[in-house]
Every structure is written in C-alpha cells, then in structure tokens.
Amino acid sequence: MYKYDGLLVHQEVDEQGLIEIVETEGVRALHFGTDPRQSSMLLSAPNELHSKYVRAMMVWLLFKQQPDSVLMVGVGGGSLSKYLLYHFPQCQIKAVELRQAIIKIAQRFFALPLDPRLKVKISEGARYIKRQSENQSELHDLIIIDAFNEVDMADTMQGINLFSACKQLLTDEGLLVINLWGTSKELFKQISWEMDVVFQGKVLFLPVRGRGNIIAIAFAGGGDQYSMRALKLRARLLEEQYQIEYIDFLKDLKRNNSKELKRVIKA
C-alpha cells in the first residue's frame, strides 16, 4: 500500500491516534496520520541526521563543547537521541515521551538503541518539566524540546511557567533548544515574547532554510566566552567534523539576530 508518495510498511493506532511508517527512495519516515514527517532516517546511514530541521537543532554545538546531562522532550523516531549517543560517549540523556508506542516504533524501525546512557520516561513533557523544577532534582546543561502532534506544536509546550521551569532545570551555562513552527505568526510571536522575558533577551532564532521550522536557542547564562571570530572558526571545524551546515547556521543567526547576538557573545 502506498501513502504520502511512499510505501506504507507499518501502521498502528494508540490512545493518541494513528502511527505510520512510510519508505520513499531509501528514506524511512514517521507520520502521525498526516503528510508532515515527524522523523526521518536514511536507511543507508541510520546514525546520521537526515532531516534539515533536526540538523538545525544541533546549532547549540556552536556555543557548547560537550553535553553531559541532556533532557529531551519528544522522542519521535529518536534521531537526536541516537545521534547524541553515537557522537558523545559521555552524554547521559533523559528522554520524555508521551506515547509508549513511539518508543517501541523508534527501537524497531529507527534503530534507537537500548543504551544505559538513555533513560526514557513516559510522561507529558510540560508536566514532567514543571514537576522536576519544583524539586530541582536534576540539573541539565542542555534541554531539547521537539514535541509535535499530527499537525503542529504540542500546545502544552509554551508559556512563561514552562520556560521558567526549563531555566530552573538548567545549569548556569545551560542551553534550551526548541523546535518552533514558524508559519503561525501569532503563536510564534507569543512564544518568542515568553522566552525573551524568561531568558532576559538571551534568545536566538534560526529559521530552517526551505522549511516552516524555526529553532530557538535560549541561554541560561550567556555565550560570551565566544567572539564572532571564534564562532566562525568553530563553525568551519564543526562542519568538517559532523558534515552539518554550521557555516550557514552562523550566517543565518547573524542575519536574523543582529541585536540579540550582542547579548550572548562578544562583538
């Protein structure tokens, strides 16, 4: 059976709805009953990042050398979790996913490994973050939020209270990276304002070229250990090492954050 211009290889339904796996020209994709891909994997290179927006979510590496403790909200096909485990051996990940079925799908169809460094919690992401922040039982140097339903962003993953809780769970030099859907201008404007208030203006936005996604990166402290000159050098080195378009990321950050950049880095 063909669907979304590809071969439907698996289909199931859980409490939240339809889950589908479709393969097209060597790419395996996760769908939630609609055309937009929730996750994708190149079958010939399962440990690499196929999706443009997922590669853009790695923009944080411009500002942080290594992640030690990562909180990830929204697993999907597990692309980012798998990538961090593969490239950063010391990294410990707590992944929060609403749907138990998605974890099984990620393991069965997207090569998400059973790894002692990856702890999975089945929970609603915003509730988990707020509860943890009340106890401050964990501190993370990186929080990644990529939580979507079948059509757009999960409506719980926004608000002053949520972003304040995220900041509470970050180390002094920690970063929050969140995948935003930029086609809803009013929603994007609201979330941008909320993040700006909580993180005192230390927020940068990276539009994903050719996509509706915008990646926001918020600084709990600051990135002022870097100058623009150092970032340019770092972007070249990272692009050579990871084959991710860091030079373009830095150009787009400069283009879209001319004032904001001065709040987080040296001139």
Please indicate, yes or no, if residue 41 is contained in any of the structural domains. Answer: no
What pLDDT, on a 0 to 100 scale, did the predictor assign at position 154? 63
The verdict on residue 136 lying in a domain is yes
Tokens encoding 38 = 């929730």
Amino acid 180 reads L
pLDDT of residue 215: 96
- Overall domain count for the chain: 1
Q: Which residues have C-beta within 8 Å of that of residue 199, sequence separation ≥ 6? A: 163, 167, 176, 218, 219, 220
The pLDDT of residue 73 is 95
**What pLDDT does 111 receive?**
95
Measured distance CA(171)–CA(219) in Å, rounded:
10
Residue 27 lies in a domain: no
Residue 119 counted as domain residue: yes
CATH number at residue 228: 3.40.50.150
Q: What is the token pair recorded at 135?
A: 């106890």
Q: In which residue ranges of the chain is pLDDT below 70?
A: 137, 148-155, 182-183, 222-225, 267
- Domain membership of residue 132 (yes or no) is yes
According to DSSP, the residues that pair with 142 across neighbouring strands are: 70, 175
pLDDT in tens, 12-56: 999 989 999 999 999 999 999 988 888 999 999 999 999 999 999
Q: Would 175 be classed as within a structural domain?
A: yes
Burial of residue 116, with CB atoms counted within 10 A of its CB: 0-12 exposed, 13-18 middle, 19 or more buried: exposed
Q: Report yes or no: 202 and 168 within 8 Å, Cβ to Cβ.
A: no
Residue 163 inside a domain? The answer is yes
Tokens 């995948």 sit on residue: 179
pLDDT value at residue 256? 94
Q: Which residues contact 117 (CB under 8 A, 6 or more apart)?
A: 85, 91, 92, 93
Buried b (16+ CB within 10 A) or exposed e, 63-84: bbeebebbbbbbbbbbbbbbbb
Domain that holds residue 256: 46-264
Type of residue found at 40:
S
Model pTM score: 0.94
Q: What are phi and psi of 37, to 5 degrees?
A: -80, 130
Domain membership of residue 35 (yes or no) is no
